[in-house]
Amino acid sequence: MKIAVLRETAEAEHRVAATPETVKKLIALGAELAVESGAGAGANIADGDYEAAGATVADRAGVISGASLVMGVQVPGVDGLPGIAKGTMVAGMMMPFANAERIKGYADAGLVALSMEFMPRITRAQSMDVLSSQSNLAGYKAVIDAAEAYGRAFPMMMTAAGTISAARVFIMGVGVAGLQAIATARRLGALVSATDVRSATKEQIESLGAKAIFVTEVKGIEGEGAGGYATEMSDEYKAAQAALVSSHIAKQDIVITTALIPGRPAPRLVSDAQLRTMRPGSVLVDLAVESGGNVEHSRPGEVVEVHGVKIIGHKNLAGRMAADASSLYSRNLFNFINAFWDKEGKTLSLPADDEIVVGVKLTEGGAVVHERLKAA
Ligand code: NAD
């Protein structure tokens, strides 16, 4: 079975879907690997490194020709997959809700599209969970970006010239990215507080040494929430949350927002009025900027200054740490392939009734087959 690895062509995408390490592991399974020339450049991997690992290197049409599986990070639409044969599996991140036309294109071309962001959040799939591996790095990078833009220090410093007080960092949304942001800000010496709508996160916040700031008068989401995900909150909850944030945010120096609701625009958590109460020089990082944004005025790919407060809206934070992000992402893909590898036939064989396969498969046999997409 031939597996093709694409060079990314999306704007500012420096990651790659395979590294020499995973190329070797896939070859050890019995696969043949073909890597598009230049695929690893953004992650400091040369074509020669892939060749040394046992892959062939060719242009895009060359790697796709004869491949049964085509892998990418942000996979292009059918137009970007020249000569791809009917029945070919395509695996990567497809942002299915935002790219309905592109997904329909895969269906029309008879491809089997596998969207790795739809990996079910079950224990068996943890090692294949690309959202977790990438969000973890994004949470770290958000704090580093904030520290860089902040004109002050994070830790308290007692010097001969006097004391510098510790930065106050508030993390809104404590999923994978938020937890890493708490841990990173704590390591840098900040005073950290955090909030979420899922009650299970309270203990996680406290176990990382941060202060949990929670709405108490209206009930949030019990425990983890369905599959670890939040849903849209009631108007009553939103009002209570806005009041709580208003009383807390004015005292914060750095705010990092990570709140997402699957299949919906990101919830608005910080308003213009709340920004006005913050000290000039404060910094916000909106990790949800590409899903509509948690912070009023945040703009994808830009740093804007409003009321003296910097709002950082960098896109694709994980992609800005391409070497580590590629190494984790490519292992996620390897773990997925390895789990469904037919050792005798030396091919990838996806059982139609497996929970993971049902979770990630968007198109097959000329149609969109995923329930969540059909419903949308
Ligand atoms: P996410 O990216 O969907 O959302 C980020 C966070 O924002 C979530 O914690 C969510 O509750 C929070 N949020 C949403 N709306 C909010 C609002 N209005 N106000 C405040 N916060 C809000 O979440 P994620 O990082 O992908 O993961 C969520 C959870 O899923 C994790 O904490 C983990 O427990 C679980 N998980 C399980 C597995 C697994 O078992 N395989 C893998 C990864 C994550």
CA distances from 197 to 253, 254, 301 (A): 22, 20, 27
pLDDT of residue 225: 81
Distance separating alpha carbons of residues 126 and 129, to the nearest angstrom: 5
**What integer is the mean pLDDT of 179-202?**
97
Reply yes or no on whether the pLDDT at 50 is more than 80. Answer: yes
In the set 106, 129, 291, 298, the catalytic residue is: 129
pLDDT of residue 263: 78
- Helix 322-339 and helix 20-29, axial crossing angle in degrees, nearest 10: 10
- For residue 375, the model assigns a pLDDT of 82
pLDDT at residue 374, rounded to an integer: 87
Active-site residue, from 49, 68, 121, 199 = 121
Residue 227 pLDDT level (bands cut at 50, 70, 90): confident
Q: Cα–Cα distances in Å, from 140 out to 146, 198, 254, 261, 291? A: 10, 21, 14, 21, 19
Please give the average per-residue pLDDT across 126-150, as a whole number.
97
Ligand 1 atom closest to Cα of 230?
11
Whether residue 252 lies in the annotated active site: no
Ligand 1 centre from 36 Cα, in Å? 34
Which atom of ligand 1 is closest in space to residue 260's alpha carbon?
Answer: 4
pLDDT, position 264? 87
Whether the pLDDT of residue 376 is over 80: the answer is no
Output the CA 311–ligand 1 centroid distance in Å: 22
Q: 226 CA distance to ligand 1 centroid (A)? A: 10
DSSP string, 331-350: HHHHHHHHHTEETTTTEE--
The pLDDT tens digits for 247-300 are 999 999 999 999 999 878 999 999 999 999 999 999 999 999 999 999 999 999
DSSP reduced 3-state for 23: helix
At residue 192, the 3 state secondary structure works out as strand
| CB 195, CB 212: distance < 8 Å | yes
In the reported structure, the alpha carbon of residue 259 is separated from the centroid of ligand 1 by a whole-number distance in angstroms of 8
Nearest ligand 1 atom, CA 176: 25
Nearest CA to ligand 1 atom 11: 230
Q: What is the side-by-side order of every strand in the sheet holding 168-172? A: 211-212, 191-195, 168-172, 254-257, 283-286, 309-312, 303-306
Confidence class for position 371, pLDDT limits 50, 70, 90: very high
- The CA distances from residue 315 to 54, 174, 186, 199, 288, in Å, are 34, 19, 24, 29, 9
Protein residue with its CA nearest to atom 30 in ligand 1: 228
Mean pLDDT across the stretch 349-366?
97
- Three-state DSSP class for 216? coil
Q: pLDDT tens across 204-215, in order?
A: 999 999 999 999
148-182 pLDDT per residue, tens? 999 999 999 999 999 999 999 999 999 999 999 99
Q: Is 186 a catalytic residue?
A: no
Average pLDDT over every residue of 238-248: 95
> Could you identify the atom of ligand 1 that is nearest to the CA of residue 120?
41
Comparing CA positions, the residue from 189, 197, 251 lying closest to residue 228 is 197
Nearest C-alpha to atom 9 of ligand 1 is from which residue? 175
**Contacts with 28 (C-beta within 8 Å, 6 or more apart), sequence order:** none
Q: What is the secondary structure of 156-187 as a DSSP string? A: -EEETTEEEPPPEEEEE--SHHHHHHHHHHHH
Q: Which atom of ligand 1 is nearest to the CA of 225?
A: 11
Known catalytic residue: 126? yes
How far apart are the CA of 178 and the centre of ligand 1, in A? 8
pTM assigned to the model: 0.94
The pLDDT value recorded for residue 99 is 93
Structural contact between residues 166 and 190, judged by C-beta atoms closer than 8 angstroms: yes
- Mean pLDDT on 230-254: 95
What is each CA distance from 4 to 8, 45, 76, 121, 293, in whole angstroms? 12, 16, 14, 27, 34
Residues whose beta carbon lies within 6 Å of some atom of ligand 1: 121-123, 125-126, 129, 131-132, 135, 172-178, 195-198, 201, 224, 228-230, 233, 258-262, 267, 269
* 56-58 sheet: strands from edge to edge: 56-58, 32-36, 2-5, 69-74, 89-93, 112-115
Write the CA distances from 336 to 66, 92, 119, 357, 376, integer angstroms: 21, 11, 10, 10, 26
Known catalytic residue at 102:
no
CA–centroid distance, residue 31 to ligand 1 (Å) = 35
**AA identity, residue 157:** M
- pLDDT score of 30 more than 80: yes
- Give the chain's mean pLDDT: 96
106 catalytic? Reply is no
Amino acid found at 246: S
317 close to 291: Cβ distance less than 8 angstroms = no
